[in-house]
Amino acid sequence: MKIKKTLYGALLLTIIALATPALAETPDGNLRLTASPLPISLKVAPGTSTSAQIKVKNDGNVTENIKVSLMKFKADEKTGAPTLGEREQGDEFFDWVTFSENAFALSPNEWKTITATFNVPPTAAFGYYYAVVFSRAEESVAKGDRQTVITGGMATLILLEAQVPNAKREIQVENFGVDKKIYEFLPVNFSVKLRNTGNVHVAPRGNIFINNGDAKDIAILEINPGKGSILPNSPRDFKESWLDGFPFYVDKQSDGKIVLDEAGNQEQELKWNFADMSKLRWGKYTAKLLLIYDDGQKDVPVEAEVSFWVIPWRLIGLALGIILILFFAGRLSRKISLPKETK
């Protein structure tokens, strides 16, 4: 089933947000919850049990009656972003989970620790992906023919791996590119599309190294700093921008709000910091992607490369114009200063 997410931030979860607490807030602003950590990765031998502690805080100003429920998640087929879903036929792994408390009262600014215990059977293998949902006890979940509406709550993702000998971990680069081949000024926007072709989740990490032919890298950008996981047989998109230039484009703002053009696109303007004049970028650049992931025995490298140009044509034209003006001014001055020939 598809999930329609109506709360502002709680169910718009990404696996990449490993170290960032989650915030849930209903549209009327009454329910505010923070949870940590997010998400949680567990490894367990089949036939044994493991547990995870989830801390929940009430950031509101009234006591809330909270219930704990369980959902599952999978990766979106195009972007790899997690999509929540309800239990379906054949989802026996829901029965492995018990909570220290299924409902509790939470006072303002109070933290509560809930322990989730996973009793994993001997037949378990590979990955199981849970979403532990905290919501108001008195609020029901409206069910339609094809979707579930959660009107208030927050979910913590848990990735459980039942370790077996034939686990396969493999990452491939489907695409590494830039949004343009020629730029006048920075930023340069990189897109990385990876795919997990294995049968358990993998958390790749690495960098983009940018150079212009010199031995020294001009810039190093980090990919997947939160060490987020890619689910089996799923893609995952990562985006990063190179901003360290002079000048560079930023989103245009007015009274603290982003300015849009007639088509609804964000307008941009150049930001000039003359202390960074040495960072004027021009010429051909090469960006090298180097990622590594653990295949269970060793770190495996994954590489890709893309090239692009930075040509600040307006600055080049201005400089050439000034040079020409100075040249002709010098010629004219010299011609005026030459003495006339006497007969």
pLDDT digits (tens, 9 = 90+) for 82-120: 899 999 999 999 999 999 999 999 999 999 999 999 999
> What is the value of pTM for the model shown?
0.80
Set out the domains of the chain in order of their start, with CATH numbers.
2-162 (2.60.40.10), 171-245+281-322 (2.60.40.10)
Cβ distance 35 to 58 under 8 Å?
no
pLDDT above 90: percentage of residues in the chain: 66
**Among candidates 308, 315, 317, 307, which has minimal Cα distance to 277?**
315
> What's the Cα-to-Cα distance from 64 to each of 30, 53, 124, rounded to whole Å?
9, 20, 37
Query: In the predicted model, is pLDDT for residue 1 greater than 60?
Result: no
Task: Please spell the DSSP secondary structure of 76-111, one letter per residue.
Answer: -TTT--EEEE---TT-GGGGGEEES-SEEEE-TT-E
What mean pLDDT value characterizes the chain? 86
Q: For residues 171 and 191, give the distance between their C-alpha atoms in angstroms, rounded to a whole number.
A: 16
Q: How confident is the model at residue 338 (pLDDT cuts 50, 70, 90)?
A: low
pLDDT digits (tens, 9 = 90+) for 125-181: 999 999 999 999 876 544 444 434 445 688 999 999 999 999 999 999 999 999 999
Cβ distance 212 to 242 under 8 Å?
no
Structural tokens at position 45:
């031998």
